[in-house]
Chain A
Amino acid sequence: DAGVIQSPRHEVTEMGQEVTLRCKPISGHDYLFWYRQTMMRGLELLIYFNNNVPIDDSGMPEDRFSAKMPNASFSTLKIQPSEPRDSAVYFCASSTTQRESYEQYFGPGTRLTVT
Protein backbone atom coordinates (compact mmCIF):
# COMPACT_ATOMS: atom_id res chain seq x y z
CA ASP A 1 0.00 0.00 0.00
CA ALA A 2 1.19 3.51 -0.75
CA GLY A 3 2.01 5.60 2.26
CA VAL A 4 1.58 9.32 2.66
CA ILE A 5 3.01 11.13 -0.35
CA GLN A 6 4.50 14.61 -0.14
CA SER A 7 5.90 16.90 -2.79
CA PRO A 8 8.28 18.42 -3.37
CA ARG A 9 10.88 16.69 -1.19
CA HIS A 10 13.07 19.77 -1.22
CA GLU A 11 12.23 23.40 -1.87
CA VAL A 12 14.61 26.33 -1.95
CA THR A 13 13.10 29.76 -2.41
CA GLU A 14 13.86 33.39 -1.82
CA MET A 15 12.31 35.45 0.91
CA GLY A 16 9.00 36.93 -0.16
CA GLN A 17 8.11 34.16 -2.59
CA GLU A 18 5.03 31.97 -2.29
CA VAL A 19 5.60 28.33 -1.38
CA THR A 20 3.08 25.52 -1.79
CA LEU A 21 3.59 22.12 -0.20
CA ARG A 22 1.45 19.17 -1.23
CA CYS A 23 0.24 16.02 0.47
CA LYS A 24 -1.69 12.91 -0.50
CA PRO A 25 -2.88 10.96 2.56
CA ILE A 26 -3.24 7.22 2.79
CA SER A 27 -6.38 6.12 0.99
CA GLY A 28 -9.30 5.70 3.38
CA HIS A 29 -7.81 7.84 6.13
CA ASP A 30 -10.15 10.57 7.32
CA TYR A 31 -7.68 12.68 9.29
CA LEU A 32 -4.82 14.72 7.87
CA PHE A 33 -2.21 16.59 9.91
CA TRP A 34 0.44 19.14 8.97
CA TYR A 35 3.54 19.40 11.17
CA ARG A 36 6.68 21.48 11.16
CA GLN A 37 9.97 20.18 12.55
CA THR A 38 12.94 22.30 13.61
CA MET A 39 15.89 21.64 15.87
CA MET A 40 14.77 24.31 18.29
CA ARG A 41 11.08 23.47 18.57
CA GLY A 42 10.87 19.83 17.59
CA LEU A 43 7.67 18.58 15.97
CA GLU A 44 4.88 21.14 16.03
CA LEU A 45 1.33 20.51 14.89
CA LEU A 46 0.20 23.29 12.57
CA ILE A 47 -3.30 22.25 11.55
CA TYR A 48 -5.41 19.15 11.10
CA PHE A 49 -8.47 18.16 9.10
CA ASN A 50 -11.22 15.63 9.54
CA ASN A 51 -13.18 14.64 6.44
CA ASN A 52 -11.61 17.59 4.61
CA VAL A 53 -12.77 20.10 7.23
CA PRO A 54 -10.19 22.02 9.31
CA ILE A 55 -10.64 21.11 12.97
CA ASP A 56 -7.84 22.92 14.74
CA ASP A 57 -5.53 25.52 13.21
CA SER A 58 -4.25 26.95 16.47
CA GLY A 59 -0.72 25.88 15.59
CA MET A 60 -0.54 27.92 12.39
CA PRO A 61 2.14 30.52 13.08
CA GLU A 62 0.50 33.52 11.46
CA ASP A 63 -1.63 34.69 8.58
CA ARG A 64 1.13 33.97 6.10
CA PHE A 65 0.31 30.29 6.50
CA SER A 66 -2.81 28.71 5.04
CA ALA A 67 -3.90 25.13 4.43
CA LYS A 68 -6.64 23.60 2.34
CA MET A 69 -8.04 20.16 1.74
CA PRO A 70 -10.28 20.30 -1.34
CA ASN A 71 -10.90 16.55 -1.34
CA ALA A 72 -10.08 13.39 0.60
CA SER A 73 -6.92 12.69 -1.34
CA PHE A 74 -5.17 16.05 -1.47
CA SER A 75 -4.08 18.86 0.81
CA THR A 76 -1.86 21.91 0.44
CA LEU A 77 0.04 24.08 2.87
CA LYS A 78 0.85 27.50 1.51
CA ILE A 79 3.23 30.14 2.84
CA GLN A 80 2.89 33.61 1.38
CA PRO A 81 5.15 35.51 1.67
CA SER A 82 7.87 33.17 2.87
CA GLU A 83 10.54 34.28 5.37
CA PRO A 84 13.89 32.73 6.36
CA ARG A 85 12.46 31.69 9.74
CA ASP A 86 10.03 29.42 7.90
CA SER A 87 12.94 27.16 6.96
CA ALA A 88 12.12 23.74 8.40
CA VAL A 89 10.98 20.27 7.45
CA TYR A 90 7.24 20.08 6.92
CA PHE A 91 5.50 16.76 7.42
CA CYS A 92 2.07 15.57 6.50
CA ALA A 93 0.51 12.66 8.40
CA SER A 94 -2.78 10.83 8.13
CA SER A 95 -4.81 8.56 10.36
CA THR A 96 -8.19 6.96 10.80
CA THR A 97 -10.11 6.57 14.04
CA GLN A 98 -12.55 4.02 12.70
CA ARG A 99 -11.19 1.53 15.23
CA GLU A 100 -10.47 4.20 17.85
CA SER A 101 -6.89 4.16 16.64
CA TYR A 102 -4.87 7.33 16.90
CA GLU A 103 -1.91 6.01 14.98
CA GLN A 104 -0.62 8.67 12.63
CA TYR A 105 1.43 7.75 9.58
CA PHE A 106 3.91 10.31 8.32
CA GLY A 107 5.09 11.22 4.85
CA PRO A 108 8.78 11.70 4.00
CA GLY A 109 8.58 15.45 4.52
CA THR A 110 9.42 18.56 2.52
CA ARG A 111 12.63 20.32 3.46
CA LEU A 112 12.05 24.04 2.93
CA THR A 113 14.89 26.50 2.79
CA VAL A 114 14.08 30.20 2.50
CA THR A 115 17.06 32.40 1.69
Chain B
Amino acid sequence: GQQLNQSPQSMFIQEGEDVSMNCTSSSIFNTWLWYKQEPGEGPVLLIALYKAGELTSNGRLTAQFGITRKDSFLNISASIPSDVGIYFCAGQLNRANFGNEKLTFGTGTRLTIIP
Protein backbone atom coordinates (compact mmCIF):
# COMPACT_ATOMS: atom_id res chain seq x y z
CA GLY B 1 0.00 0.00 0.00
CA GLN B 2 0.91 3.64 -0.26
CA GLN B 3 3.25 5.07 2.36
CA LEU B 4 4.30 8.58 3.12
CA ASN B 5 7.97 9.47 2.89
CA GLN B 6 9.39 10.47 6.22
CA SER B 7 12.82 11.90 6.84
CA PRO B 8 15.18 11.39 8.36
CA GLN B 9 14.83 7.66 8.94
CA SER B 10 16.80 7.94 12.16
CA MET B 11 18.32 10.62 14.33
CA PHE B 12 20.99 10.51 17.00
CA ILE B 13 21.00 13.64 19.10
CA GLN B 14 22.18 14.85 22.47
CA GLU B 15 19.81 15.69 25.26
CA GLY B 16 18.73 19.31 25.06
CA GLU B 17 18.97 19.56 21.29
CA ASP B 18 16.03 20.47 19.08
CA VAL B 19 14.67 17.90 16.64
CA SER B 20 13.04 18.38 13.24
CA MET B 21 11.45 15.77 11.02
CA ASN B 22 9.14 15.91 8.05
CA CYS B 23 6.73 13.92 5.98
CA THR B 24 5.94 14.30 2.29
CA SER B 25 3.37 12.86 -0.06
CA SER B 26 2.60 12.91 -3.74
CA SER B 27 -1.10 13.21 -2.88
CA ILE B 28 -3.05 15.96 -1.16
CA PHE B 29 -4.10 15.27 2.40
CA ASN B 30 -6.70 17.14 4.41
CA THR B 31 -5.67 15.75 7.79
CA TRP B 32 -2.21 15.16 9.19
CA LEU B 33 -1.53 13.30 12.43
CA TRP B 34 1.68 12.68 14.31
CA TYR B 35 2.16 9.60 16.49
CA LYS B 36 4.92 8.36 18.78
CA GLN B 37 5.60 4.68 19.38
CA GLU B 38 7.72 3.31 22.21
CA PRO B 39 9.05 -0.26 22.32
CA GLY B 40 6.35 -2.82 23.03
CA GLU B 41 3.54 -0.29 22.80
CA GLY B 42 1.07 0.98 20.26
CA PRO B 43 1.38 4.36 18.55
CA VAL B 44 0.19 7.26 20.71
CA LEU B 45 -1.38 10.31 19.09
CA LEU B 46 0.62 13.50 19.69
CA ILE B 47 -0.84 16.18 17.44
CA ALA B 48 -3.65 16.46 14.87
CA LEU B 49 -3.74 19.06 12.08
CA TYR B 50 -6.82 19.89 10.01
CA LYS B 51 -6.09 23.05 8.01
CA ALA B 52 -3.41 23.90 5.49
CA GLY B 53 -0.86 26.21 7.07
CA GLU B 54 -1.99 25.31 10.58
CA LEU B 55 0.67 25.39 13.29
CA THR B 56 -0.17 23.47 16.47
CA SER B 57 1.80 22.94 19.67
CA ASN B 58 1.61 20.32 22.39
CA GLY B 59 4.14 21.17 25.08
CA ARG B 60 7.59 20.98 23.53
CA LEU B 61 6.15 19.59 20.30
CA THR B 62 5.13 21.77 17.37
CA ALA B 63 3.68 20.49 14.12
CA GLN B 64 2.73 22.26 10.92
CA PHE B 65 0.37 21.36 8.09
CA GLY B 66 2.16 22.32 4.89
CA ILE B 67 0.52 24.95 2.73
CA THR B 68 0.62 22.65 -0.31
CA ARG B 69 -1.27 19.97 1.70
CA LYS B 70 1.42 17.51 0.65
CA ASP B 71 3.72 17.78 3.63
CA SER B 72 3.91 18.19 7.38
CA PHE B 73 6.65 18.93 9.89
CA LEU B 74 7.22 18.01 13.52
CA ASN B 75 9.65 19.81 15.79
CA ILE B 76 10.66 18.84 19.31
CA SER B 77 12.41 21.47 21.37
CA ALA B 78 14.94 20.80 24.13
CA SER B 79 14.82 17.01 23.82
CA ILE B 80 14.77 14.85 26.94
CA PRO B 81 15.44 11.10 27.37
CA SER B 82 11.74 10.19 27.34
CA ASP B 83 11.45 11.55 23.78
CA VAL B 84 13.14 8.37 22.54
CA GLY B 85 10.94 6.36 20.21
CA ILE B 86 9.69 6.13 16.66
CA TYR B 87 7.65 9.03 15.32
CA PHE B 88 5.11 8.40 12.58
CA CYS B 89 3.19 10.82 10.47
CA ALA B 90 -0.19 9.81 9.10
CA GLY B 91 -2.43 11.45 6.56
CA GLN B 92 -6.02 11.20 5.49
CA LEU B 93 -6.58 11.63 1.75
CA ASN B 94 -8.75 14.42 0.44
CA ARG B 95 -11.58 12.33 -0.96
CA ALA B 96 -15.23 13.18 -0.68
CA ASN B 97 -16.50 9.64 -0.97
CA PHE B 98 -17.56 7.49 1.95
CA GLY B 99 -14.71 5.28 2.97
CA ASN B 100 -12.19 8.05 3.29
CA GLU B 101 -11.52 7.34 6.94
CA LYS B 102 -8.35 5.40 6.25
CA LEU B 103 -5.01 6.79 7.32
CA THR B 104 -1.81 6.39 5.35
CA PHE B 105 1.24 6.10 7.57
CA GLY B 106 4.79 7.30 7.09
CA THR B 107 7.81 5.06 7.32
CA GLY B 108 8.81 6.46 10.71
CA THR B 109 11.70 8.43 12.21
CA ARG B 110 13.62 6.65 14.97
CA LEU B 111 14.88 9.10 17.57
CA THR B 112 17.79 8.12 19.80
CA ILE B 113 19.20 10.40 22.47
CA ILE B 114 22.88 10.11 23.24
CA PRO B 115 23.69 10.53 26.92
CB-based A-B contact count at 8 angstroms: 53
User: A102–B3 contact, CB under 8 A?
Assistant: no
Q: How far is the CA of A56 from the CA of B48 in the complex (A)?
A: 24
* B73–chain A nearest beta-carbon distance, Å: 19
| A positions within 8 Å CB-CB of B | 4, 31, 42-45, 48, 50, 55-56, 59, 91, 93, 95, 97, 101-109, 111
User: B41–A108 contact, CB under 8 A?
Assistant: yes
A45-B102, A48-B101, A56-B102 known; A102 vs B108 contact (CB < 8 Å): no
**A111: chain B residues within 8 A (beta carbon):** 40
Q: Quick one: which of B3, B88, B92, B102 has the most chain A CB within 10 A?
A: B102
Judged by a CB distance under 8 angstroms, whether B115 is at the interface is no
**A50: chain B residues within 8 A (beta carbon):** 101
**B103: chain A residues within 8 A (beta carbon):** 45, 102, 104
A42-B3, A42-B108 known; A103 vs B45 contact (CB < 8 Å): yes
* A29–chain B nearest beta-carbon distance, Å: 11
Interface of B, helix, strand, loop or mixed by DSSP: loop
Judged by a CB distance under 8 angstroms, whether B59 is at the interface is no
**A4: chain B residues within 8 A (beta carbon):** 42
User: A31–B42 contact, CB under 8 A?
Assistant: no
B40-53 CB contact bits vs A (8 Å, 1 = yes)?
A: 11111100100000
Query: Closest chain B residue to A3 by CB distance?
Result: B42
User: B41–A102 contact, CB under 8 A?
Assistant: no
**A48: chain B residues within 8 A (beta carbon):** 101-102
B54-98 CB contact bits vs A (8 Å, 1 = yes)?
A: 000000000000000000000000000000000010101000000
Judged by a CB distance under 8 angstroms, whether B21 is at the interface is no
Judged by a CB distance under 8 angstroms, whether B31 is at the interface is yes
